[in-house]
Amino acid sequence: MLEMNGISKIYRTDLIETHALRNFSLKVGDGEFVAVTGPSGSGKTTFMNVAGLLESFDTGSYKLDGADVSRLSDEQRSRLRNEKIGFIFQSFNLIPDLDIYDNVDVPLRYRRLAAKDRDQRIKSALEVVGLSSRMHHMPSQLSGGQQQRAAIARALAGDPRFLLADEPTGNVDSLMARQVMDLLEQINEMGTTIIMVTHDPELARRAHRNVHIVDGQISDFRPYEPRAEIEAAAVAHGPAPMTMTPA
């Protein structure tokens, strides 16, 4: 499904170069549910962006569904994103001017589906996340959890083979976080590959596999050790997080 080999990504600013990913290699199989963890600034979002074709990378190779994506044009990348990849953002990113129905409609529009088809997909996606009754609410009229579910519906509506979620539970309470997780598991069971970034060890444990990123590299494959991770998360906002990561 996804195969990254020796990927590196460097951000250049006037002052410094940041090696957000260095020699990063990862394979994710069809139907897997992978949780990505790591201290703040370690490169998780960068990895997700590269995986989701939102950003390019500097070296290495990346195959998605067996196809090399490093040489694709912007147009082709957009198409892949639209058809194969679904995104769930930490801060929902619903479009404030559009109601929920139209928000879910956005990716379908870009896929040029017929009106009837779109309508059906939107309604069933909203059904799945339990928002059928709020179809014509504006985002600002929903709670945080509802907004996140609407965003999930938007990601699902296009039937992606591959769902990328960057801290989907970061902005909702723990009860809601568990519900979101239930939803993702349910989607995964229907065959969608999911990669999820999270800081919540409990949620991370529910995935098939954990990938721990430290300083732009995969540090180790190992199940979560809750205590250590909680400490790491606690100091993640400290002045020198790198020294505190359990290696």
Partner 1 sequence: MTAWNLRPIASALWRNRTGALLVAFQIAIGLAVLVNAVYIVKQRVEKISRPTGMDTANMIFVASAGFARDFDYDASWREDIATLRAIPGVQAASVISNIPLSGGGSSSGFQARPGETNPEKTVPGNTYLIDEQGVDALGITLSAGRAFEPQEILPPTPTFDAASQAIVTKAFAKSLFPDDPNPLGKTFFDGLSRPITIVGVIEHMHGAWVSWDKLDHVVLFPRIKTGPSAIYVVRAEPGRQDAVMREIEAKLGDSNPGRLMRWVRPMSYFIEQSYLDDRNMAIFLVSVTGVLLAVTALGIFGLATFNVSTRIRQIGTRRAVGARRMDIVRHFLVENWMVTTAGVVVGCAGALAVGYWLSVKYQLPRLDLYYLVGGVLAIWLIGLLAAWQPARRASAISPAVATRTV
Partner 2 sequence: MFGYYLKLASRNLRRNPGLTALMIGAVALGIAVCVMTLTMYRALSGNPIWWKNDVLYAVTMDFWDPTEEYFDSKPGVPPWQLTYRDALAVFASDIPKRKVIMHKAVGTLSLEDRQARPERVTTRVTTTDFFGAFDVPFQYGGTWAPSADTGPEPVMVISRAMNEKYFGGRNSVGERIRWNDNEFRIVGVRDHWMPLPSFYDVNNGSLEEPEDVYIPFGWNAALEIYSAGNTQGWKAEEINSYRDFLNSENIWIQMWVELPDENARRRFQDFLDNYAQEQKQAGRYGRPLNNRLTPVDQWLVDNDVVGNDDRVLVGLAFAFLAVCLLNTVGLLLAKFLNGAAMTGVRRALGASRRQVFMQHLVEVGVVSSIGAALGLALGGLMLMGLRALYTVDPTDQGGTQALAQVDMTSVATALALAFVATIAAGLYPAWRIGRIPPATYLKAQ
Catalog residues that contact partner 1 under the rule CB under 8 A. Answer: 45, 48-49, 52-55, 74-75, 78-79, 81-83, 85-87, 89-91, 93, 95-99, 102, 105-107, 109-115, 118, 154-155, 158, 166
Residues at the site binding Mg ion, with contacts judged by CB under 5 A = 45
Which does residue 16 bind out of ligand ATP, partner 1, Mg ion, none, counting CB within 5 to 8 angstroms by kind?
none
The 8-class DSSP code of residue 134 comes to: G
Residues 14, 15, 96, 227: which binds partner 2 (CB under 8 A)? 96
DSSP for residue 8 = E
Task: In angstroms, give the least distance from the CB of 44 to Mg ion.
Answer: 5
- 242-246 — which CB contacts under 8 Å span 24+ positions? 242/39, 242/214, 242/215, 244/39, 245/38, 245/39, 245/42, 245/214, 245/215, 245/219
String marking each residue 140-159 x if it binds partner 2 according to CB under 8 A? x------x------------
Name the residue nearer to ligand ATP (CB basis): 11 or 95: 11
Asked if 209 contacts 32 with a C-beta cutoff of 8 angstroms, the reply is: yes
Give residue 79's identity as a one-letter amino acid code. R
Closest C-alpha among 5, 19, 46 to residue 166: 46
Q: b/e per residue, 81-91, with b = 16+ CB within 10 A? A: bbebbbbbbbe
Closest approach of Cβ 95 to partner 1, in Å? 5
The phi and psi torsions of 33 (rounded to 5 degrees) equal -125, 105
| 191 is a contact residue toward partner 2 (CB under 8 A) | no
Interface residues toward partner 2, by CB under 8 A: 91-94, 96, 139-140, 147
The residues of the shown chain that bind ligand ATP, judged by CB under 6 A, are 11, 13, 18, 20, 38, 40-46
